[in-house]
Amino acid sequence: MNNSKRAKLLRFSITFLVLSLAIFLGLMLWDNYMNSAWTRDGRVRADVVMVAPDVGGLVGRVAVVDNQFVKKGELLYQIDEERFHHALHEAQAIAQTRKSEYEMKQHQSVRRLAADDEIVSAESRDDALYDAQIAHARYEEALTQVETQKLNLDRSSIRAPCDGWVSNLLLRKGDYVDRGEKHMALITSGSFWIYGYFEEHKLSLIHIGDSAEMKMLGTKYTVKGHVESIARGISDRDNVTDGRLLANVNPIFTWVRLAQRIPVRIHIDEVPADLILSAGMTCSVSIIPTKSIPRSALKM
């Protein structure tokens, strides 16, 4: 009788022990998985300059190849410059004419001023003076035109605005480019950063200055960095402004709701030597909390 009671107690206690362990571990895992600051949704980003010509024309020469690294000021492509040479010559010729005109009017004015009242009327003397002034202004206008044409000629060579890599080069010799039309993407060197898209409830665990570790998808590489900033706004998907500027609120409100993801910008501090970082790569981001700046210190 006593023996069977003890056996019963043993049965209960073994089960209870294992069950409580399982509950404890399960809760701990839940907490670590759901409530720690990490995301599988991280992207490598970079600044891209969309290079557009300041003047339009036929592309005479493309000086770079796809994915080439260029230094600041290096020639990217050349717009056929013949037209700009002609325009410059024309402007110079006009300037020369205006200069001669100005000199003529100047002489006239000086001569008339020197003559006495019986020969030249006061009116015609005034006119000569104003004519000379007008001619001078017109000459200056022509000189500015020359400068503008020189600038146009200069801008017909499209140069790299910064160090970087030419990306997805589709421009070919013979293409016609319009002024201001974007034809070349230049990925700025050293501008790489990482956007980690964190669920909104995890944001309270992230502080500016916290160090971050990025595991690149499918590799052993770990990129190190720190939290630079947290985005202060994303668009509201349930309220897209309509054509008449009224709110367009989605009447479908779901029972199951998903946390919004807020971009957290991570500054890259350390990249493994043999890893080539490309904008658009995927990574997992884990934030290692170091309570550097208290949240209350930031303006909310």
The residues that touch other proteins, with contacts defined as CB under 8 A, are 7, 10-12, 14-16, 18-19, 21-23, 25-26, 28-29, 32-33, 36, 38, 40, 215, 217-218, 282, 284, 286
Phi, psi (deg, nearest 5) at residue 50: -95, 105
Cβ atoms of 199 and 261 closer than 8 Å: yes
**Closer CB to other proteins, 98 or 202, in the complex:** 202
Closest distance to other proteins from the beta carbon of 43 (Å): 13
**Closer CB to other proteins, 191 or 286, in the complex:** 286
For residue 294 the two structure tokens come to 């208290």
Cβ atoms of 67 and 167 closer than 8 Å: yes
**Which residues face 184 on adjacent strands?**
51
Closest distance to other proteins from the beta carbon of 194 (Å): 15
**Which residues face 253 on adjacent strands?**
none
Closest distance to other proteins from the beta carbon of 284 (Å): 5
**Closer CB to other proteins, 202 or 215, in the complex:** 215
Phi, psi (deg, nearest 5) at residue 163: -70, 140
Closest distance to other proteins from the beta carbon of 269 (Å): 20
Residue pointed to by tokens 């995927």: 282
Closest distance to other proteins from the beta carbon of 186 (Å): 29
**Closer CB to other proteins, 159 or 224, in the complex:** 224
Q: Max Cα separation, the chain?
A: 152
C-alpha 267/C-alpha 156 separation (Å) is 37
**Closer CB to other proteins, 42 or 53, in the complex:** 42
* Paired sense of beta strands 261-270 and 282-288, if any: unpaired
Closest distance to other proteins from the beta carbon of 214 (Å): 11
**Closer CB to other proteins, 17 or 50, in the complex:** 17
Cβ atoms of 162 and 49 closer than 8 Å: yes
Cβ atoms of 53 and 158 closer than 8 Å: yes
C-alpha 167/C-alpha 210 separation (Å) is 33
**How many Cβ atoms from other residues are within 10 Å of residue 152's Cβ?**
19
Closest distance to other proteins from the beta carbon of 285 (Å): 9
Nearest to 186 by CA among 95, 50, 86, 72: 50
**Closer CB to other proteins, 32 or 229, in the complex:** 32
